Structure 1
Amino acid sequence: MLPHRAPRKKGRVEIIPMIDVMLFLLVFFIMITLQMITDKGLKLNLPTSSQAKMLPHPHYLVNILTDGSVVVKGKPMDLAALQQMLAGDGDVSKTDVTIAAAQKVPFQDFVHVMDSCQKAGVTNIGIATKASA
């Protein structure tokens, strides 16, 4: 008498765990891509310094438009509001600010923004330029 064999089960590909893995990969890809977006800058012949460092991704990117208005995170604000926002950020000594000015912004407007940042207690200030269209 021949032994009775149980019918062989076909292998199945579970689709739900694959979807979960793909969503996790997509989320990680988006998060890493957002951190890799850098601000464009100008290549300048600057003096050398033993303390020179690469600028980190700033907590705040302060844009100065041609008319002298200041925009932070898409919101226009005056210099007093900028100073108040930066001062209320918690530990201001660890706050990184990058100032990006339009090409034809008067230097005096740039100095006013830098002065507001320093009055708020920010010491980590970087300078960038806006990418031209």
Structure 2
Amino acid sequence: MERRYFEQRKGRVEIIPMIDIMLFLLVFFIMITIQMIPDKGLNLQLPASSQAKMLPHPHYTINIEKDGTVTVKGRHYTLAGLRQMLASDKDPSKTQITIAADKAVPFQDFIHVMDACQKAGVSDIGIAAKPR
């Protein structure tokens, strides 16, 4: 007579922990990809510069259209609304912005936007231009 102290079972693959790990990896890669997507601006005719350099990705890209409309992340702002939005940021002195103005925009409109940024406390301001 044969005695068995331990029951022998076949090994099996548990699928539920594998699904959990795959979903975790999927969420991780989605979050990383969202951070890598640049802020899409408007299709503007930027002025050209022979000294244009690549800047680090700013927190905000402020677009000024031909008619003087100020747009940030798809929303239109007045100058007062822009100043309030930038001032409500965590720390405006560390906020990086880039101003992208169409080359047909009057320089005075550009200066008004720059003044609104400085009144909000933003000091790190870049100007978008396309390289020659």
TM range (shorter): 0.7 to 0.9
Distance 1:121 1:22, change over 3 A: same
Distance 1:12 1:96, change over 3 A: same
Aligned to 1:119: 119
Q: Distance in 2 between matches of 1:25 and 1:43?
A: 42
Aligned to 1:73: 73
Q: Distance in 1 between matches of 2:73 and 2:13?
A: 45
SS of 1:66's equivalent?
A: coil
What letter matches 1:46 in structure 2?
Q
Aligned to 2:86: 86
What letter matches 2:21 in structure 1?
V
Residue 78 of structure 1, CA deviation: 0.6
Distance 1:44 1:26, change over 3 A: farther
Q: Is 1:46–2:51 an aligned residue pair?
A: yes
SS of 1:76's equivalent?
A: strand
Q: TM-score with structure 1 length normalisation?
A: 0.72
SS of 1:100's equivalent?
A: strand
Conserved in 1, the CA contact under 8 Å of 2:47 and 2:102?
no
Q: TM-score with structure 2 length normalisation?
A: 0.72
Q: Which runs of 5+ in 1 are unaligned?
A: none
What letter matches 1:45 in structure 2?
S
Aligned to 1:101: 101
Distance 1:114 1:10, change over 3 A: same
Q: Distance in 1 between matches of 2:106 and 2:91?
A: 31
Q: How many residues align?
A: 125
SS of 1:115's equivalent?
A: helix
Q: Percent identity among equivalent residues?
A: 65
Q: Distance in 1 between matches of 2:129 and 2:23?
A: 35
Q: Distance in 2 between matches of 1:76 and 1:29?
A: 31
After superposition, the CA RMSD in angstroms is: 3.1
Q: Distance in 2 between matches of 1:8 and 1:65?
A: 75
Q: Is 1:11–2:16 an aligned residue pair?
A: no
